């Protein structure tokens, strides 16, 4: 799988992926871009010593980076917003001006803005474009913007926070202050945005992960390296077991590969040349080896290792397809500022598989993989709103390897598949992995955010680079085609998405603890333990609350921990060999015999249903 991806083999895996924007969003882009300029103008009016750097629009808002001698406070943000309102209400025209590079440089030096000189040096096109707010403030900018500030609504704009940022994203350069804001067409949209933002905070997987005891981070271990608690490990294992069972049904063979490998392995694959800076530093046995880039690095992708397993013996066409699957842990040297909970980490486990097929088998095997991914999305209840993205290469880019012919064949195979299935899809030019195009599945979560989940790639290039062969029916040696696929992506990222999708209230089959038995008093404790043992014996994840608290607190604690099934046990339940069942899904179900409860739980889990 490609290297710069996080949760799966896609090029931008751990980041949010957004679908093509509507015309309304184009208008919001102009509003937000213009509002960022208004904010920068307000900041420099209030704080004349502050220098501006860059200020783009982003999803849901905008930001500007400032070099300020003093840290901005909440009080400063209120003053900046008040000044912005004044600027907007003046109905200043927003005008575009074209100037020569020399004139732009002269003006920048005149106002002593060194950051703008660096930005100017990076602009290759001419003439240089400048956008003005009235006759008082300007910045280098390509646009687009609204025509004047009267098209901005002060009541639909808010400043949200201040964060640290490095100039050019480089930790060795100046530390800047980034002010984030949001802007909308009307106050109603701002209100809805704030509601969704509050809901996002309620669902935040970092907060819920701690409350539910699923994972932790340790400064002593290091950032971006999650530690999974027993409950979190159970959750991961449930997901792994689910997919492993599906893979066994479909003819996949499990493999395990090391956590480190020789640099030469990644040079052959091309990952070293393309993504050397994203690999953890090389471990060399001596200085001479280090100078010649000979040593070991932490595994950042699984595909070169699986290729070695395929290549370990000569294969016959009769053996193909060969499907090698691994939940392989990989490591990426992400910048600390890019890390975020489980959704962007430095160590993560991919549900990776690599399928080696004859050219004639490519289409049918690709469709089989798509069927698996769709099945996974449906089981996880993420199938309500998703699209498929055909991630193809940008012919103008030099980041790709392989011949035009190989790329054309691979892209055609992907296009044939989505057309055969009649899938809703769009093309993402430039989103391909460096060795092959992909079909990426983009799902929309409960907060209307879009994420890339599963992915499947067609690869003619790595079999060529590693000189892979099989013996064809006529006895000749031929080159197989590789399919890379990951229905989950990374387990870490998937768990983060699922925590937020379910707000920590996992469906019964996925819940780390499915049932908690609540004895009313110590008298019922032995019976509760016997029932829990019966449950565990048939695969139900059950536990007994032995705290001795009053029943009301036992129930509240179970509710807080989002346990799907609570079974209250009093004297009557012991006498009748039954349980008083209360569920999060359906409330009070009354008193039910133990055997019936066990059968019903098993059946519900088997069918991925509520109890």
- Which amino acids are annotated catalytic? 303, 332, 350, 352, 354, 438, 484
CA pair distance 311, 131, nearest whole angstrom: 59
3-state secondary structure of 11: coil
Neighbours of 509 (CB within 10 A): 17
CA pair distance 249, 339, nearest whole angstrom: 36
The separation between CA 498 and the C-alpha centre of its own chain, rounded to angstroms, equals 11
Lookup: tokens for 451: 């994420």
Residue with tokens 């590969």: 257
CA pair distance 185, 32, nearest whole angstrom: 10
Lookup: tokens for 387: 């699209």
CB 356 within 8 A of CB 374: no
Residues constituting the chain: 611
CA pair distance 64, 53, nearest whole angstrom: 7
CB 590 within 8 A of CB 489: no
CA pair distance 171, 338, nearest whole angstrom: 12
Beta-carbon contacts of residue 227 (< 8 Å; ≥ 6 apart): 215, 216, 217, 218, 221
DSSP assignment, residue 344?
A: B
CA pair distance 255, 189, nearest whole angstrom: 50
CB 540 within 8 A of CB 512: no
CB 517 within 8 A of CB 531: yes
* The 3-state secondary structure of 146-196, one letter per residue: CCEHHHCCHHHEEEEEEEEEEHHHCCCCCEEEEEEEEECCCHHHHHHHHHH
CA pair distance 195, 543, nearest whole angstrom: 37
Pairing mode, if any, of strands 386-392 and 470-471? unpaired
Lookup: tokens for 531: 């029932």
């Amino acid at each position: 799988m490609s290297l710069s991806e996080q949760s799966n083999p896609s090029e931008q895996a751990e980041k949010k992926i957004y679908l093509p924007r509507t015309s309304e969003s184009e208008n919001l882009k102009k509003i937000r871009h213009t509002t960022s300029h208004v904010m920068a103008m307000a900041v420099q009016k209030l704080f004349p010593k502050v220098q501006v750097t860059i200020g783009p629009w982003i999803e849901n808002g905008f930001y500007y980076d400032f070099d300020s001698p003093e840290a901005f406070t909440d009080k400063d943000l209120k003053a900046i917003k008040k000044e912005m309102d004044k600027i907007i209400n003046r109905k200043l025209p927003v005008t575009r001006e074209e100037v020569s590079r020399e004139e732009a440089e002269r003006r920048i030096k005149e106002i002593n803005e060194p950051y703008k000189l660096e930005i100017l040096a990076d602009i290759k096109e001419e003439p240089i474009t400048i956008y003005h707010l009235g006759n008082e403030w300007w910045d280098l900018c390509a646009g687009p913007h609204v025509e004047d500030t009267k098209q901005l609504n002060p009541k639909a704009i808010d400043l949200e926070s201040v964060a640290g940022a490095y100039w050019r994203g480089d930790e060795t350069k100046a530390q800047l202050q980034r002010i984030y804001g949001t802007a909308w067409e009307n106050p109603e949209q701002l209100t809805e945005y704030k509601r969704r933002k509050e809901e996002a905070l309620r669902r935040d997987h970092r907060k819920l992960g701690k409350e539910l005891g699923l994972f932790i981070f340790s400064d002593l271990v290091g950032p971006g390296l999650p530690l999974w608690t027993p409950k979190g490990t159970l959750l991961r294992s449930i997901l792994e077991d689910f997919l492993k069972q599906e893979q066994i049904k479909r003819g996949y063979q499990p493999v395990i590969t090391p956590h480190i490998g020789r640099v030469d392995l990644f040079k052959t694959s091309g990952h070293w040349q393309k993504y050397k800076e994203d690999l953890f530093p090389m471990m060399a046995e001596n200085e001479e080896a280090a100078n010649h880039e000979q040593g070991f690095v932490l595994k950042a992708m699984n595909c070169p290792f699986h290729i070695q397993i395929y290549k370990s013996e000569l294969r016959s066409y009769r053996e193909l397809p060969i499907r090698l699957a691994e939940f392989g842990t990989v490591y990426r040297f992400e910048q600390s500022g890019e890390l975020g909970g489980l959704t962007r980490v430095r160590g993560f486990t991919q549900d990776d598989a690599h399928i080696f097929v004859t050219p004639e088998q490519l289409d049918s095997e690709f469709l089989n993989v798509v069927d698996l991914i769709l099945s996974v999305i449906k089981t996880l209840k993420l199938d309500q709103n998703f699209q498929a993205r055909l991630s193809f290469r940008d012919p103008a880019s030099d980041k790709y390897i392989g011949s035009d012919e190989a790329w054309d064949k691979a892209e055609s195979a992907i296009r044939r598949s989505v057309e055969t299935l009649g899938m809703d899809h769009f093309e993402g030019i430039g989103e391909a992995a460096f060795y092959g195009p992909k079909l990426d599945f983009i799902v929309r979560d409960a907060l209307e955010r879009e994420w890339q989940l599963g992915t499947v790639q067609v690869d003619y290039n790595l079999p060529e680079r590693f000189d892979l062969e099989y013996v064809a029916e006529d006895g000749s040696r031929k080159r197989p085609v590789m399919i890379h696929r990951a229905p989950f992506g990374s387990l870490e990222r998937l768990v983060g998405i699922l925590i937020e999708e379910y707000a920590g209230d996992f469906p019964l089959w996925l819940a780390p603890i499915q049932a908690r038995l609540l004895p009313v008093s110590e008298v019922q404790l032995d019976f509760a333990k016997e029932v829990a043992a019966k449950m565990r014996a048939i695969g139900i994840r059950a536990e007994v609350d032995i705290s001795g608290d009053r029943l009301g607190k036992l129930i509240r604690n179970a509710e807080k921990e989002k346990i799907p099934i609570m079974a209250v046990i009093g004297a009557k339940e012991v006498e009748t060999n039954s349980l008083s069942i209360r569920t999060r899904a359906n409330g009070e179900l009354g008193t039910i015999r133990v055997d019936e409860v066990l059968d019903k739980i098993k059946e519900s889990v088997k069918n991925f249903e509520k109890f």
